Amino acid sequence: MHELSVTQNIIKICTEEANNHDVKVVKSINLHIGELSGLIPQCIQYYFDIASKGTPVQGAKLVIEKIPVEISCSSCGYNGKLEKGKYSCPVCNSFEVKITKGREFMINSMEVD
Ligand SMILES: [Zn+2]
């Protein structure tokens, strides 16, 4: 159900944008989804196709870019990506890390006709 509310939000924001700029057809919507956001791109497109009927964004293709997880290590100062499946610092193995990227969800841009 998480994806459904997120999708309705996307449709609401993009419909407002389209109306503000007198856009009739939205071709695609570019989204950034963090790997830790827990959102499944296929689900978003599925809900989007259903929920966008009758809105200016109906039929738009969702172009989803996954944002990898990045951390900042307070032990050695490392900033950057994690090794896959690990939640410790790849340099010093410390768990004193803060997640700096990968939780975000945002609408990056919209392509219109
Ligand atoms: Zn470290």
- pLDDT at position 72: 97
Alpha helix stretches (DSSP H) within 52-113: none
Give me the CATH topology for the region 2-68+102-112. hypothetical protein PF0899 fold (3.30.2320)
Any residues with CB less than 8 A from the CB of 10 and at least 6 apart, and which? 29, 31, 44, 48, 62, 107
Retrieve residue 100's tokens: 């700096």
- Give residues whose Cβ lies within 5 Å of ion ligand 1: 73, 75-76, 78, 89, 91-92, 94
CA atoms of 47 and 21, how far apart (whole Å): 25
- pLDDT in the model for residue 2: 82
SS3 content of the chain, % helix, strand, coil (to 5): 25, 30, 40
Tell me the CA–centroid distance for residue 72 and ligand 1, in Å: 8
* Predicted confidence pLDDT, tens digits, the chain (113 residues): 588 999 999 999 999 999 999 998 999 999 999 999 989 999 999 999 999 999 999 999 999 999 999 999 999 999 999 988 888 999 999 999 999 999 999 999 999 98
Supply the pLDDT for residue 1. Answer: 55
At 83 the pLDDT is 87
The domain limits of the chain are 2-68+102-112
Q: Which residues are annotated as a binding site?
A: 2, 73, 76, 89, 92
